[in-house]
């Protein structure tokens, strides 16, 4: 730095050129000094690149109670991607990402004009068939029976009249007074009247008996079919309202108003197959890949303590809830899921988590927390903590966990000096 400043000194041995204003030389000297000052200030205030690591709170049990440490990710035990059961355009959206919802709460509504029309059509068909069935079930009305009876009486009277005419014509024809043709005509009229009377008598008997059982069964079957069509149409209409199947938190909203929702193929820019994803964040697990060499140390419901990188001072009790039935050949691991017994709002799916497994639940209660200070950060009982881009010297015993400290700080690093993390 001294050598660079000497280069900026003014050479007073140089004679001023003829005609040069007298103020030029002093002004140039001032500019050079200002430039040198800016250069020195920039060099002195430039941030130093340093390696930064976080102080973690870990559990330090006595003896051999802690049998294994493993890292993984927090996941929702049951994540639901809620899809529509019918196709249609989104008419209304009642939730957004991060909202808490209750079981049965309306989340999305689809346009339903077409589905309502189908319900009305099915309802009309059902009512029509129900009326026909009721008519059959009630049988013939008294008025219908009385009319059928009167028709029979009239037909019988006609038969009697035709019989009298036939007898008279036949007698006269035998005497030669009337022709044989007249006798045949009287016989035909009598036969027709008798046939009509017989038919009306059968009709009268049927009217008194009512409809046949087969007709009733067919009518009832038609009513059931129409009722099924109505129920299906009503179900389709109900499915235009998408409700929360469980109480939980909306993790993602996949549709906007006016978008088309389908139940089939989903394209990148086409119709959407599911509308929202949600999960019960009170039911969280840590998903771990345990090496096959360490797998024998664990068993069902193995007790554990869970910590996160984001909140290293917060600890959660848990236990092994699920062990994969097969190993991963490529990774030589077995997937294990640890249930977090009492999660809170600090935990989020996809957070990094560290799980410490214990031999017994009693060992967890005897475990004591300690600070895990990165190696190389402590010098003469103190560390440099990075606060707002500055290196702040602090005694090691003053650490509480969660601080970002400088690992292997430069020998000339000063308290309050500007620093920034090394890249890569």
Task: Write the pLDDT tens digit of every residue in 19-67.
Answer: 555 656 556 555 566 655 554 444 555 788 899 988 877 655 444 468 8
Task: Write the pLDDT tens digit of every residue in 236-289.
Answer: 999 999 999 999 999 999 889 998 888 764 555 555 678 999 999 999 999 999
What pLDDT, on the 0 to 100 scale, is given for residue 382?
A: 92
- Is 234 buried (19+), middle (13-18) or exposed (0-12) by CB count in 10 A? middle
What pLDDT, on the 0 to 100 scale, is given for residue 177?
A: 78
What pLDDT, on the 0 to 100 scale, is given for residue 40?
A: 45
pLDDT band at 86 (very low <50, low <70, confident <90, very high): very high
- Cα distance between residue 132 and residue 120, in whole Å: 19
Q: Answer yes or no: is pLDDT of 80 > 60.
A: yes
Residues 6+ apart with CB under 8 A from 146: none
What CA–CA distances, in Å, run from 14 to 7, 10, 19, 129, 269?
Answer: 15, 9, 15, 120, 76
Cβ distance 197 to 151 under 8 Å?
A: no
- Compute the mean pLDDT over every residue in the chain, rounded to the nearest whole number: 83
Q: Domain limits of the chain?
A: 2-46, 47-60+370-424, 63-78+281-366, 80-110+241-279, 126-232
Which tokens is 252 given? 């993602």
Span 344-371, mean pLDDT? 80
Q: Answer yes or no: is pLDDT of 317 > 90.
A: yes
What pLDDT, on the 0 to 100 scale, is given for residue 250?
A: 94
What pLDDT, on the 0 to 100 scale, is given for residue 213?
A: 77
- Cα distance between residue 349 and residue 297, in whole Å: 27
Cβ distance 56 to 401 under 8 Å?
A: yes
Task: Write the pLDDT tens digit of every residue in 176-193.
Answer: 778 888 888 888 998 998
Look at strands 419-421 and 48-54 and give their pairing.
Answer: parallel
SS3 label, residue 36: helix
What pLDDT, on the 0 to 100 scale, is given for residue 354?
A: 93
DSSP one-letter string for 191-242: HHHHHHHHHHHHHHHHHHH-S-HHHHHHHHHHHHHHHHHHHHHHHHHHTTEE
- Cα distance between residue 48 and residue 408, in whole Å: 13
Task: Write the pLDDT tens digit of every residue in 189-228.
Answer: 989 988 988 888 887 776 666 677 788 888 899 999 999 9
What pLDDT, on the 0 to 100 scale, is given for residue 15?
A: 47
Span 73-77, mean pLDDT? 94
Q: Backbone dihedral region of 187: left (phi > 0), alpha (psi from -120 to 50 degrees) or beta? A: alpha
Architecture of the structural domain at 63-78+281-366: Beta Barrel (2.40)
What CA–CA distances, in Å, run from 178 to 171, 184, 202, 204?
Answer: 9, 11, 36, 38
What pLDDT, on the 0 to 100 scale, is given for residue 229?
A: 96
Q: Answer yes or no: is pLDDT of 408 > 60.
A: yes
Please check whether the domain covering 80-110+241-279 is classified as CATH 2.30.30.90.
no
What pLDDT, on the 0 to 100 scale, is given for residue 7?
A: 54
pLDDT band at 168 (very low <50, low <70, confident <90, very high): confident
In a 13 Å sphere around the CA of 341, the CA atoms on its Cβ side amount to: 12
């Amino acid at each position: 730095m001294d050598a660079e400043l000497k280069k900026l000194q003014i050479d007073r041995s140089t004679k001023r050129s003829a005609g040069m204003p007298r103020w030029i030389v002093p002004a140039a000297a001032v500019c050079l000094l200002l430039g040198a000052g800016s250069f020195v200030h920039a060099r002195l205030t430039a941030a130093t690149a340093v390696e930064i690591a976080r102080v973690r709170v870990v559990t330090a049990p006595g003896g051999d109670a802690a049998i294994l440490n493993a890292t993984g990710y927090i996941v929702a035990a049951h994540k639901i991607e809620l899809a529509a059961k019918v196709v249609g355009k989104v008419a209304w959206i009642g939730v957004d990402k991060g909202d808490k919802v209750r079981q049965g709460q309306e989340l999305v509504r689809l346009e339903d004009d077409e589905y309502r029309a189908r319900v009305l059509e099915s309802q009309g068909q059902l009512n029509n068939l129900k009326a026909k069935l009721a008519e059959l079930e009630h049988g013939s009305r008294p008025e219908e029976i009385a009319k059928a009876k009167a028709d029979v009486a009239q037909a019988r009277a006609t038969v009697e009249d035709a019989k009298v005419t036939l007898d008279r014509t036949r007698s006269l024809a035998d005497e030669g007074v009337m022709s044989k043709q007249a006798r045949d005509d009287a016989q035909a009229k009598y036969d027709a009247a008798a046939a009509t009377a017989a038919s009306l008598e059968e009709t009268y008997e049927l009217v008194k008996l009512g409809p046949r059982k087969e007709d009733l069964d067919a009518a009832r079957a038609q009513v059931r079919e129409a009722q099924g069509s109505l129920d299906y149409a009503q179900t389709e209409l109900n499915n235009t309202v998408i409700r929360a199947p469980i109480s939980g938190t909306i993790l993602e909203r996949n549709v906007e108003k006016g978008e088309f929702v389908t139940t089939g193929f989903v394209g990148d820019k086409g119709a959407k197959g599911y509308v929202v994803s949600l999960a019960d964040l009170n039911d969280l697990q840590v998903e771990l890949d345990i090496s096959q060499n360490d797998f024998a140390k664990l068993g069902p419901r193995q007790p554990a303590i869970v910590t996160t990188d984001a909140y290293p001072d917060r600890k959660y009790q848990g236990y092994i809830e699920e062990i994969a039935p097969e190993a991963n050949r490529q990774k030589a691991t077995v997937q294990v899921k640890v249930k977090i017994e009492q999660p809170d709002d600090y935990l989020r799916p996809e957070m990094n988590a560290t799980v410490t497994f214990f031999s017994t639940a009693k060992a967890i209660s005897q475990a004591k927390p300690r600070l895990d200070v990165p190696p190389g950060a402590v010098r003469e009982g103190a560390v440099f903590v990075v606060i707002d881009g500055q290196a702040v010297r602090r005694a090691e015993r003053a650490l509480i966990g969660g601080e970002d400290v400088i690992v292997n700080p430069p020998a000339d690093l000063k308290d309050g000096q500007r620093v920034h993390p090394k890249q890569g």
